[in-house]
A and B are shown apart, each in its own frame.
Chain A
Amino acid sequence: MAERYSILRRPLIAGNKSFDEVTRDVCAPLESKSTSAWWMTFAAALAMLSVGAVAVGYQLKTGIGTWGLNNTVGWAFDITNFVFWIGIGHAGTLISAILFLFNQKWRTSVNRSAEAMTLFAVMCAGIFPIIHMGRPWLAFWVIPYPNMRGPLWVNFRSPLVWDVFAISTYFIVSLVFWYVGLIPDLATIRDRATSKIKRAITGFFSFGWDGSNKTWLRYETIYLLLAGLATPLVVSVHTIVSWDFATSVIPGWHTTILPPYFVAGAVFSGFAMVLTLMLIVRKVLHFEDYITLHHIGAMSKIIIATGGIVALAYATEFFVAIYSGNDYERFTFVNRALGPYAWAYWIMVGCNVGVPQFLWSKKVRSNVALVFAISLLINVGMWFERFVIITISLTRDYLPASWADYSPTSVEIATLVGSFGLFLTLFLLFARFLPMIAIGEVKGVLGYGKQTEGGQR
């Protein structure tokens, strides 16, 4: 279809690339030998992963007691990490689905890796609900299936059961979405493949893509449909995760603003993570032309926006607590800000409300190093947001006699490290074997803002 591009826009892809150049640039890392830098980072990631594996193994063998939890604080690092990773897993679908529907062309440079990131993050997240169980070998009991117990079903009133459905759906849809997007590029790799095996594999996974007009048409329809299907999920998943807390009776959990609050926070942290990763990829794989300052700027703006929502949520939370007249509720929030865990609270506020404000300045937005630092801080802040909500609320609930403090054990910290290890390992493998940038889509926007004769064709 003939598109019209404004000549008043700067091009999305710098360096005046030709189709062929794009293909070569993107495929370069896949076809060259892996660099020593890649090997070193990969080794580091594997090391982190194995640390986590050992910790989890020990915990499964010995018992949940190897975590710092207690009678009062039943969830801490485990569920904090879970919510954190689910949050990270948000940007991908948002970029690929919502931005696609809003016809945001700049997404094409980042959507592929963002979607990959989503998948890996959800994988990391998915581990925690299972290992946090006292008897994980019976985890399958949370799935309804016919049985000899009379029969005995799951408790459909429990948000944990909703989680099971929400997250698995989200994962499957994201996976399909990502894979469908990959098909044309897999075909490209197939066509460029030198080795037999590579050709065979990519050939199989590219479903005999022939790049014909008909194929493209079908492809674009299905992609549009999937985008439509994925969009509600962006909202639903984190809403449902937030219900784990919102439906409870614990002051600090039991609040109606959690769903929008969580979704905004998720997008916020998701984009921060996308930035973190893209800035590295950009540097290491020399994608400066594809991920331009324009892209970074766009994402920074989204971060400012969602950060603003998060900040508003923090404020609202306090207002609601004070205004509610519920003494327990009021105490919980005062305790967050001034109690024994105030440091965690202020890290959260500092990183999530304070730091993003720097992005208002164009100077900062166009300074890659600064943006990178900010994105990292935001990730830290968002981890602490979950910690504050989940753990601090539990440490001081209704009966003063049952108050307790919490501090993590080395096993818990190792598990957190391990989840990052898993995430990085998967992402590095992705970077090594699959095109980080959607070749087909980028080609689609090459002409964007390009000076052509008379501005029309």
Chain B
Amino acid sequence: MNSRIISIFLGSGLLLCLTIFLTSYANNVRLPGNHEGYEPVQPIAYSHRLHAGELNLPCLHCHTDAGRSRNAGIPAVETCMSCHTFVTAPIVDVRAEDKRAEKTGEKPSRIISPELKKLYDMAGLDDELRPDPAKEARPIAWVRVHRLPDFAYFNHGAHVSAGVECQTCHGAIETMERVRQVSDLSMGWCVNCHRDANAQGVNGRVVAAPTDCSGCHF
């Protein structure tokens, strides 16, 4: 009699452990090709939170092609320089330097934050932001975060012009220090969104989102 109770107890316990283990495992299990949560370190610690969030720059200010091209486009170094010729470090550091200069009475020297230093190196500029013959200007090799397989064609222009928010796919980018992939970018995820869009429209606008295979695969 006893033994039976014990065995039942043990059995159920085992079962419980098993389920806990399996469910927790199931949550981290990931199908091949799903890079959801991918958050690589970038050559320059560019902060979307600062630029898109705090400073509230519109996405298309830098990603100029998103509205008209298949690629959203990563801004050229040139684009960064349009502001960072003037902004070379966080304002607090600059203030601090000014104070120090005031005290000592010498003219404040230019403060360059370490990350922007990298940018200037890329642009082939020296600390005084003058072209440095020693350095060769070269493009920045960012690590790509969002990647669709090559057999899936995606066009930013079509989506942006249809009124789809960048955040719909890229998540709350304006809150991210470092860009992270928030959606699994699976076919089911795309198709469901297209179906909903056709049913409800995008922000009240009627849209014709293709649900044909050849909408993306060709």
Contacts and interface: CB of A to CB of B under 8 A. Distances in A.
A–B contact at 8 Å CB threshold (below): yes
Interface of A: 147-152
B191 interface: yes
Interface residues of B, number: 9
Contacts of B191: 149-150
B192 A150 contact: yes
Interface stretch (B49-57, B66-74, B182-190): B182-190
A148 B31 CA distance: 9
18 contacts: A147-B188, A148-B31, A148-B34, A148-B184, A148-B186, A148-B187, A148-B188, A148-B189, A149-B186, A149-B187, A149-B188, A149-B191, A150-B187, A150-B188, A150-B191, A150-B192, A151-B188, A152-B187
Nearest to A152: B187
Nearest to A151: B188
A151 B186 CA distance: 10
Contacts of B31: 148
Contacts of A148: 31, 34, 184, 186-189
Nearest to B211: A150
For the complex, would chain B's binding face be called helix, strand, loop or mixed by DSSP majority?
Answer: helix
Interface in B188-213: 188-189, 191-192
Interface of B: 31, 34, 184, 186-189, 191-192
Given A147-B188, A150-B187, 13 more contacts: A148-B31, A148-B34, A148-B184, A148-B186, A148-B189, A149-B186, A149-B187, A149-B188, A149-B191, A150-B191, A150-B192, A151-B188, A152-B187
A147 B31 CA distance: 10
B79 to A, nearest CB: 36
B31 to A, nearest CB: 6
A155 to B, nearest CB: 13
B186 to A, nearest CB: 4
Contacts of B188: 147-151
Nearest to A148: B186
Nearest to A147: B188
B185 to A, nearest CB: 10
A152 B184 CA distance: 17
A154 to B, nearest CB: 15
A150 B188 CA distance: 3
Nearest to B184: A148
A151 B31 CA distance: 14
B217 to A, nearest CB: 11
Nearest to B187: A149
B184 to A, nearest CB: 7
Contacts of B189: 148
Contacts of A147: 188
A149 B213 CA distance: 11
A150 B189 CA distance: 7
Contacts of B186: 148-149
A151 B189 CA distance: 10
A151 B187 CA distance: 8
A111 to B, nearest CB: 44
Contacts of A152: 187
A141 to B, nearest CB: 13
A147 B34 CA distance: 13
Contacts of A150: 187-188, 191-192
Contacts of B184: 148
Nearest to B192: A150
Contacts of A149: 186-188, 191
A151 B191 CA distance: 9
Contacts of B34: 148
Nearest to B191: A150
A405 to B, nearest CB: 33
A162 B7 CA distance: 47
Nearest to A149: B187
A167 to B, nearest CB: 29
A303 B141 CA distance: 75
A430 B100 CA distance: 94
A149 B34 CA distance: 12
A152 B31 CA distance: 16
Nearest to B34: A148
A150 B186 CA distance: 8
Nearest to B190: A150
A149 B191 CA distance: 8
A3 B13 CA distance: 57
A79 B184 CA distance: 40
A150 B184 CA distance: 13
